[in-house]
């Protein structure tokens, strides 16, 4: 199959490209960075250099594809969440213009619960197209962004924590789930596919990370949303992006994220959290 991927050489798209090329698919990988062209070619894929905000480029890149994988990276410094949200409209336009019938969309396990943006709802306009929303839980790799918090404060802080249950996921397990979905017979209409590697409470996750990095009493505490928002803004996150992140986290803390997940519980991926924690500890002590 001819498959077009977005996400450049990110945590998901890089292993996804490798897996699909290994299976013999013709893969085109979209990136905004011309400097990644050679690396993409060395992986056996065709680079398409441009932006998903450019509908003409996106339409050209999608032309002739059997499957497209759409993701929309969040710019944490952006003051314009509308521009970020409109990238989904660009995908809709390019899919319609090219007549693609098979679409995989990376959203998240709380995407259907958001009010400020509604990334999945836009795809309801694609009548007769097979659309799968891939809904991973919080990434293992998010802990890389928590290094300074852990090191300087000796705890993890967000507006969820403690006994809140989280379906953590390794990016490579997300890539494997997308490959599995691509190889599944397409059925017109919308469906959601949850992806998780290990289900842990925040307390359990903090204990595993803490033991790995040498802070055995590491705690993960839940703070009021406004306090978390102020903290995010202090680190350079825009007020608009901070508000969206707090809204996402609030749906974990209030239990809404877990409700639909439990009804559609996936087979867990292969990557265990303790294995990630060992890798994380090595990085943590080197940086």
Give the model confidence (pLDDT) of 245-258 as tens digits. 999 999 999 999 99
Residue 220 lies in a domain: no
Give the model confidence (pLDDT) of 118-135 as tens digits. 889 999 999 999 999 999
Look at the chain and count its residues. 287
Return the structure tokens found at 176.
Answer: 């494997």
- For residues 5 and 112, what is the distance between their CA atoms, to the nearest angstrom? 23
Number of domains the chain contains? 1
User: To the nearest 10°, the Cα dihedral for 12, 15, 19, 20?
Assistant: 50
CATH number of the domain that 107 lies in?
3.40.50.720
Asked if the model's pLDDT at residue 76 lies above 80, the reply is no
Return the structure tokens found at 218.
Answer: 């590491």
Give the model confidence (pLDDT) of 138-190 as tens digits. 999 999 999 999 999 999 999 999 999 999 999 999 999 999 999 999 999 99
Residue 259 lies in a domain: no
Print the domain residue range for 84. Answer: 2-139+168-195
Residue 247 lies in a domain: no
The alpha carbon of residue 72 and the mean position of all alpha carbons in its chain are separated, in whole angstroms, by 9
Give the model confidence (pLDDT) of 192-224 as tens digits. 999 999 999 999 999 999 999 999 999 999 999
Residue 15 lies in a domain: yes
Q: pTM score, two decimals? A: 0.95
Residue 54 lies in a domain: yes
Residue 184 lies in a domain: yes
Residue 17 lies in a domain: yes
Residue 229 lies in a domain: no
């Amino acid at each position: 199959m001819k498959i077009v991927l977005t996400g450049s050489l990110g945590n998901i798209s890089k292993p996804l490209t490798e897996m699909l090329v290994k299976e013999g698919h013709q893969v085109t990988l979209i990136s905004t960075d011309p400097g990644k062209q050679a690396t993409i070619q060395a992986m056996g894929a065709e680079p398409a250099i441009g932006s998903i905000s450019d509908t003409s480029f996106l339409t050209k890149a999608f032309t002739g594809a059997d499957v497209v994988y759409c993701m929309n990276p969040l710019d944490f410094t952006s003051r314009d969440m509308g521009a970020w949200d409109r990238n989904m409209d660009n995908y809709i336009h390019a899919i319609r213009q090219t007549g693609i019938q098979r679409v995989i969309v990376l959203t998240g396990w709380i995407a259907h619960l958001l009010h400020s943006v509604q990334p999945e709802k836009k795809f309801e306009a694609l009548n007769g197209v097979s659309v799968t929303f891939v809904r991973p839980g919080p990434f293992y790799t998010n802990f890389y962004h928590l290094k300074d918090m852990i090191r300087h404060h000796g705890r993890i802080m967000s507006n969820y924590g403690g006994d809140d249950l989280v379906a953590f996921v390794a990016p490579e397990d997300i890539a494997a789930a997308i490959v599995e979905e691509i190889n599944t017979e397409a059925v017109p209409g919308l469906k959601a596919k949850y992806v998780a590697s290990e289900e842990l409470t925040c307390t359990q996750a903090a204990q595993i990370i803490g033991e790995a990095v040498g802070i055995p009493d590491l705690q993960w505490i839940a703070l009021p949303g406004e306090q978390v928002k102020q903290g995010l803004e202090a680190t350079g996150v825009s007020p608009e992006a901070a508000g969206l992140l707090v809204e996402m986290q609030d749906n974990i803390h209030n239990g809404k994220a877990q409700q639909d997940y439990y009804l559609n519980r996936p087979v867990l991926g292969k990557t265990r959290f303790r294995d990630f924690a060992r890798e994380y500890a090595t990085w943590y002590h080197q940086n």
